[in-house]
Amino acid sequence: MTDPAVHNRIDRRRERTRNALLGAARKFLAEGRSAVSIQEITDEADVGFGSFYNHFDSKEQLFDDALRSVLQIYSEFRDSIVAPYDDPAEVFAVSFRMTGRLQRQAPELVRVLLHSGMSVLLYEEGLAPRARRDITAAQQAGRFEPMDPDVAIMAAGGALLGLLQLLDTQPEADADALSDEMTLHVLQMFGMNKHSAQTLTTSVLPSEPRLDL
């Protein structure tokens, strides 16, 4: 019978190796280098080449899991921020404003999303399902005008990714001001009048939680 202490050490070692591979994959994704070899990935992770297949069947699976891990990190970040809010329109606005600001706090995480492009909005984790829920709830509450959910997700997601790309390419830009301005326009696109939209985009935001990447 295996000693439980030995079993736990093996599990911890496997977890460290898997996390190192995911970290390497996130780095390459952030750099837009998904064509790297498995050898380059294991070298970056500082693990043995043979250990790769103890955790992943293919490079594609690793990169997919790496992207999903970023979406999970984002989800936890976003959910902790909007938890105190009840108005779905305010939840959407706070989420959008804070996600724009996230580019300055975690640029590598944001670059993973940017290099994944619009396809990131098709995942069942992260950005899209939360935005869909908020937008639908705001429509049902009469805060947003009716719009096809798929169209709404792509419109809001495209605006958000465009904002993040702008901030990534302009490090000197005022991320707070641009995030609030883009949120204002998206709220108006969803049918909110300018006064109501300005109220939501000028309110005091909560403190950003620390991200563990």
Set out the domains of the chain in order of their start, with CATH numbers.
Answer: 1-56 (1.10.10.60), 58-202 (1.10.357.10)
Give me the count of residues in the chain.
213
CB 205 within 8 A of CB 98: yes
Distance CA 152, CA 171 (A): 29
pLDDT in tens, 114-156: 999 899 998 888 889 999 999 999 999 999 999 998 999 999 9
Tokens of 2: 């295996």
pLDDT in tens, 16-71: 999 999 999 999 999 999 899 999 999 999 999 989 999 999 999 999 999 999 99
pLDDT at position 209: 72
DSSP per position, 80-143? HHHTT---HHHHHHHHHHHHHHHHHH-HHHHHHHHHHGGGGGGSSSSHHHHHHHHHHHHHHTTS
Distance CA 103, CA 101 (A): 5
Distance CA 70, CA 207 (A): 21
